[in-house]
Amino acid sequence: MKAFKVFVYGTLKRGFPLHRHLRGARYLGRAWLKGFVMYDLGWYPAILPGEGVVSGELYEVDWATLLLLDEVEEEGEEYERRLLSVELEDGRREEAFVYVYRKDLKGQPRVQEGVWQKKVSF
């Protein structure tokens, strides 16, 4: 089975509403993405390149789960899946897929600390 690493930073994290889509994925630990800024879009966040650090979680997923995440994130429309370098708690760096927002975020509130904490149920 081919495995892919995915960095998640919002509603896909443990304890958040969309985490169910990572059922069966292997949790690899907390991780940080440097050079990106997080914005609050209501019930979910978005990130764009900028002066900042985004906190999240790193997972190892199979091909079917990666394709499911593409659907959830509307890859190619709302988000673009990019291969980027993230840093784990122990200082190791890993290449992982990250969903980066494709639209303009001008006027949207910035999540200053780069940590998504808003838990909305639906």
> Where in the sequence numbering do the catalytic residues fall?
73
Show the tokens assigned to 5. Answer: 């690493």
Report d(CA 70, CA 41) in Å as an integer. 19
CA atoms within 13 A on the CB side of 122: 9
| Residue 63 burial (CB count, 10 A) | 11
